[in-house]
């Protein structure tokens, strides 16, 4: 959201009090920041869900590739372990897809709809600014005739300029009043609007990670060898690798 005022000559008379202009700029600045942050949040949420899906899909591919690997062909116990792993990854992917669908529906889509309101707001601000420039132009015109000698033709032109100014002034004041009343209301509405979305986001995460705890708990019970630490497993792998390196077919020339 950006706002670049039109450049024209300024009338001598202060037609909009500085306090009113400061209030307007403050409220509009808050909405500019809100729009930027809403768009950023929408983008970040999309990146997050895309990354979640890519993670679970990659895990399923790894488990599927392992099942198709010759490693599993002659070793029933290893095949059983990889099958359990594949089942767990597919369950994880299924729950992850449900979570992402819920986030898309209850968080990302509402963010998108909220962002769609800002173009109308920007247009209203631009209309107010255009009317202000017309107001200033006509006010300058009135001031020009007020400074001239009060001859018949000048008084006629002054009357005509004041008649032109009156509806534009009223139009600006109406637009300005409406925006000053409605911009704070719009800004305050963000909490009531987004609160259900983020409650849904938290629930989706809680449900997902609760299910992940169950899935990986079951997987651990199926494949874990009690009493072995990660350090012991690492030592076993190193010992097996040393045996492989001792074979003549992989010995250094």
pLDDT average per 10 residues of sequence, the chain (253 residues): 49 84 95 96 96 96 90 80 92 96 96 95 96 93 87 89 93 96 96 95 96 93 71 80 78 60
Give how far Cα 32 sits from Cα of 2, 44, 74, 184, 229, Å.
8, 18, 65, 12, 55
pLDDT of residue 133: 93
pLDDT of residue 232: 77
Q: Which residues contact 209 (CB under 8 A, 6 or more apart)?
A: none
pLDDT of residue 122: 96
> Can you tell me the distance from the alpha carbon of 95 to that of 91, in angstroms, rounded to the nearest whole number?
6
Give how far Cα 160 sits from Cα of 138, 143, 165, 178, Å.
11, 13, 9, 28
pLDDT of residue 228: 66
pLDDT of residue 9: 53
């Amino acid at each position: 959201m950006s706002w670049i005022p039109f450049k024209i000559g300024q009338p001598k008379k202060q037609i909009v009090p500085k306090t009113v202009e400061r209030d307007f700029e403050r409220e509009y600045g808050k909405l500019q920041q809100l729009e930027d942050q809403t768009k950023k949040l929408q983008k970040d949420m999309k990146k997050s869900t895309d990354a979640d899906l890519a993670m679970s899909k990659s895990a399923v591919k790894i488990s599927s590739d392992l099942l198709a690997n010759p490693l599993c062909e002659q070793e029933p116990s290893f095949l059983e372990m990889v099958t359990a792993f594949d089942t767990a990854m597919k369950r994880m992917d299924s729950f992850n897809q449900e979570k992402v669908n819920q986030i898309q529906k209850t968080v990302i889509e509402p963010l998108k709809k909220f962002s769609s309101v800002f173009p109308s707001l920007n247009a209203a601000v631009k209309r107010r600014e255009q009317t202000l420039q017309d107001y200033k132009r006509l006010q300058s015109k009135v001031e020009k005739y007020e400074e001239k000698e009060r001859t018949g033709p000048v008084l006629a032109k002054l009357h005509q300029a004041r008649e032109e100014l009156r509806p534009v002034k009223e139009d600006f004041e109406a637009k300005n009043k409406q925006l000053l009343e409605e911009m704070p209301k719009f800004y305050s509405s963000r909490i009531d609007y987004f609160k259900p979305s983020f409650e849904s986001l938290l629930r989706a995460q809680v449900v997902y990670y609760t299910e992940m705890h169950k899935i990986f708990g079951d997987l651990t019970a199926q494949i874990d060898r009690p009493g072995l630490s990660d350090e012991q497993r690492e030592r076993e792998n190193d010992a097996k690798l040393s045996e492989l390196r001792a074979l003549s077919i992989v010995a250094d020339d």
